[in-house]
Amino acid sequence: MRNPFEYGGVVEGDAFCNRTTERVDLARAIRNHEKLFVFSERRFGKTSLVQAVLAGLSKRSTVCAYVDLWPTDNEATFVAA
């Protein structure tokens, strides 16, 4: 049987599923200018979740930016990001 789930990168479109509550909560927090952290173990879909929500907000004329800080390991690389 073939695994129906995509993994190993950012999941988009129909492959991104079953995160309705998280999407609604995150979008509301962003629209309300709340400070928040999205954290969990590796490979749990944090990046996919954030990018899906930002894409939805961008369609509604909300200006969004995504900055990947994973490769930063010091102040200089953080500022350069």
* 79, two tokens: 């500022």
pTM of the model: 0.78
Query: Domain locations in the chain?
Result: 13-80
With CA atoms as reference, report the closest residue to 50 among 15, 22, 8, 81.
Answer: 22
Q: What is the pLDDT along the chain (81 residues), one digit of tens a residue?
A: 887 777 788 888 888 888 999 999 999 999 999 988 888 898 899 999 999 999 999 888 888 888 888 888 999 988 887
Could you tell me if 75 and 65 are in contact, meaning their C-beta atoms sit under 8 angstroms apart? no
